[in-house]
Amino acid sequence: MALVNEHFLKLPGSYLFSDIAKKVNTFKITHPRQRLIRLGIGDVTRPLPAACIEAMHKAVDEMADAATFHGYGPEQGYDFLTEAIIKNDYAPRGIHFSTSEIFISDGAKSDTGNIGELLRWDNSMGITDPVYPVYVDSNIMCGRSGVLGEDGKWSNVTYLPCTAENQFVPALPDHRVDLIYLCYPNNPTGTTLTHDQLKKWVDYALENDTLLVFDAAYEAYIHEDNVPHSIYEIRGAKKVAIEIRSFSKTAGFTGVRCGYTVVPKELTAATLTGERIPLNQLWNRRQCTKFNGTSYITQRAAEAIYTPEGKQQVKENIEYYMTNARTMKTELEAAGLTVYGGVNSPYIWLQTPDGTGSWKFFEQMLYNANVVGTPGVGFGPSGEGYIRLTAFGTHEDCQEAMQRIRQWLR
């Protein structure tokens, strides 16, 4: 008989956002006339940039002509897109890559979950806490996280708390860890690390032979000059870090699906006998076996964001969302609440008043203000007592949601 992978049975009953959806659906059934404003799941609302739409139309026309038709593409991505990424995302910052170090994907979530396949199941791992749930859940699935304790923590995971007490700057582990996930600008807290703060992590990784998986999905939202957009701005990072990026929030590709992962050729991991193996060649082998590549039409759309018109349109969309973030931050602080994020990120990390639990405040806000957020505890133990709000709605919904929350809290 077929035996299940019992590590899947260790997972929480459902994904965080599935739990939220169930509670929201219950509310809608019992309150059918109430209009909900959703500031929970980080899905965008602005249309795709016009440059991307134009590129997609052109690519569709190419697919209709035998002379320009595209079938299977390279699993790693087309050179036209990888070259545009290198030229626009890295070269201006003095970072240089070959096209064979850039791997186009169907989004950061997939690569974030799959990258662990390159490593043995018994590597120790560390995560900032709170954190995007996929980091932990994908490692639970392969048995790397250990067992769940009564305190809500996994036995083989080193938790690196990001709290108001440490200004959301996690301390380095006091012991050696094999694999560490970092996400900056951070999801869910919306906070960032300066160049000097990120350098400490790269130095730790170099000293301890640690692999860093750096999720930079929100780098396009960085507004402050001393916040690095890429971990490769730090000297030596190519030897210890994989960087994952997404076009989902940058260019509204949540429904189109495109991102990329950088695996430098200098990056290696060891066998039990001590042989050093380049992870670039392993990731390439993995992708060639399990992934048929992102569609030609999608990659042409992604390429278009690097045109002068595309850059301007992306900038306008990001500014639209960041205007929402500034509005939310101002309004919530005026209501007497403690708020973090919203400066270099489209996320607001709201501290619940009077020590109210995350899920309790979520339900109070749902039923009293008809506004949906995300309970902070769903991102990890250190997220208890917080709610994440996103700035991806319309200006009108964002302003109305703030009015509802302020009126409710009065």
Annotated binding residues for substrate, written as ranges, equal 15, 42, 109, 132, 187, 292, 388
Name residue 191's amino acid: T
Binding residues for pyridoxal 5'-phosphate: 72, 108-109, 132, 187, 218, 246-248, 257, 292
Say if residues 222 and 229 touch (Cβ distance below 8 Å).
yes
| 3-state secondary structure (DSSP) of residue 330 | helix
* Interatomic CA distance for residues 294 and 252, integer angstroms: 16
Peptide linkage before 185 cis (omega within 30 of 0): yes
The label of the residue with tokens 């991991």 reads: 269
Q: Are 194 and 161 contacting, i.e. CB atoms less than 8 angstroms apart?
A: no
341 sits in which H/E element: strand 338-341
Establish how many alpha carbons lie within 13 A of residue 188's alpha carbon, considering only the half-sphere containing its beta carbon: 34
List alpha helices for 335-394, DSSP H: 358-368
CB 44 within 8 A of CB 246: no
| Residue 203: closest CA among 175, 178, 239 | 239
Residue 26: phi and psi, rounded to 5, are: -60, -45
**Residue 385 near residue 355, CB atoms below 8 Å:** yes
Nearest to 253 by CA among 39, 46, 70: 46
Residues that constitute the known binding site: 15, 42, 72, 108-109, 132, 187, 218, 246-248, 257, 292, 388
Please check whether residue 263 is in contact with residue 283, taking contact to mean a CB–CB distance below 8 angstroms: yes
Cβ atoms of 163 and 174 closer than 8 Å: no
| Ramachandran class of 35: left when φ > 0, alpha when ψ lies in -120 to 50, beta otherwise | beta
Distances (CA, A) of 389 to 8, 41, 281, 410: 29, 8, 39, 20
